[in-house]
Amino acid sequence: MKEKIMDVMQKFSKAMFIPVLILPIAGILIAVGNLFTNTRLQAVLPFLDNPLTKGFGTLLSGSLTAILTNLGVIFCVGLAVGLADKKKSEAGFISLLSFLVFINAMNKFMGLRGILVEGSLSGTGQALVLGVQVLDMGVFLGLMLGVVVALVHNRFCETEFNNAFQIYGGTRFVFIVLIPVMVVMAVVLTFVWPFVQAGINALGSFIQSSGNFGIFVYGTLERLLIPTGLHHLVYTPFLYTSLGGVATVGGQVLEGARNIYYAEIADETVKVLSQSVIWDARGISKMFGLIGACLAMYHTARPENRGKIKAVLITASVTSFIAGVTEPIEFSFLFVAPVLFVVHAVLAGSSFVVLNLIGCRAIGPNGFIDFLLYNVPLGFAKTRWPLYIVVGLVYFVLYYVIFRALITKMNLKTLGRESEGMEMKLHTKAEYKAKVNAEGNASATGNSADDVNAALIVEALGGKDNILKVTNCYTRLRTELADPDLVQEDVLRGQTGATAVVRKGKNIQVVYGLKVTAVRKAVDAELGFKDNE
């Protein structure tokens, strides 16, 4: 049962990446648009104060803000595509149709009950979704409908009929089944959702009332779940639902720390960013803390090994600092010295508390580029971003001192402290046992599909017949295998460029870092997989 639950969570986790990974792109472009309309920046750079640049900025930020106000349909389509076993494009199209059926069915039923609110909807628990007035379910509506559509799609997408009914088979039959399902859901949720919303509000109030302790638990848990690949299931509800706070910006009620942040940085009438329940302080450990950890590993390495690991650690540090990708560093000590990973999680959680105590509302979850675009143009008063850097430097020192002390006192076998002759790479302890002659074999170290030895990766995963599904996130090749015992971890780590292999039942995650997209394309080509598979 435990394995089945984990498999379901893993599948949901992978599907969540489709909508979740798009949102930061929209946020960055909104921030870019705001640069061209920011009056403070125009005072410093007068050439930006002209109709052309201001118009461009207004169009860019204004058009992308619509994504933030329609997260329900975005998550519905994204989840349906991610959870569909096959015919993914058709699943996405059907999910959009189902979403439209649902909101209109709910609107009509609410009208029949006479509970549609007239006038302003602020604070009424109702909202306009794609221009249709329904109960305000936010992202949760998209999550529910996306899952239901995917379940029905997977069950009936290959159902076929004979003779005159043949035209109603396949995915068309899926939509036929979903129409009454959506109508029934709309009616039921009209009665049920107010109680669910009350429970969500109570949970948010509890987290808020727990103060810094709740913030600390959130920040620590978000890091601790990195090995499972489920960490984004922790932060997504807080960033995009009422669990992360509720605020009115420009007359519009917004839910979720990230949504509130995007709206408030775009509204120049907002002088100080509001205090949401949970704030996004992941950048402290990514941009500063883990850099200190890398320096500690360098200084505690054997003198003869420092030259070998310098380039590796510098590359990993730059990736973490600039892009916010931390797994190459985290997996370098996760298994060989798990106590360091626990300390890392605790320090990351405490950084949330520190920023909250000093009222710093700057963010940098995806590295330094994000940090500059989001915060610097807003000035000190709105985000107090210079304090973010001060806190980051403090955590750089803390990570360095604590990691160095633990590595030396406990004689932890971190990077560069292995016995002589071992290969100096960012990987797990098992990888260090790989044969040195593996260097002569083909490896997936390039950044294009042509540089990836897909045949070796497929073989190490148990062969073509063993691989049921392949997806990827920012850094991991995520696979579902028929028999996970056939996986050759030493080959994946020692000969294909992987830095770690994470096992969760039949779900095997192979960490490749930023080149994972090229690896995924090469593996798909080797397997003959198409987009709808």
Active site amino acids: 473
CA distance 451 to 312: 20
CA distance 523 to 34: 40
CA distance 89 to 80: 9
CA distance 29 to 56: 12
Contacts of 134 (CB under 8 A, 6+ apart): 103, 106, 107, 110, 126, 127
DSSP 254-300: EESHHHHHHHHHH-TT--S----SS---THHIIIIIHHHHHHHHHHH
CA distance 138 to 296: 44
Record the tokens describing residue 254, joined without a space: 């917004």
What CA–CA distances, in Å, run from 61 to 18, 55, 254, 296?
A: 22, 10, 17, 42
The terminus-to-terminus CA distance of the chain in angstroms comes to: 27
φ, ψ at 324 (rounded to 5°): 75, 15
CA distance 230 to 485: 22
DSSP state of 443: -
φ, ψ at 470 (rounded to 5°): -135, 125
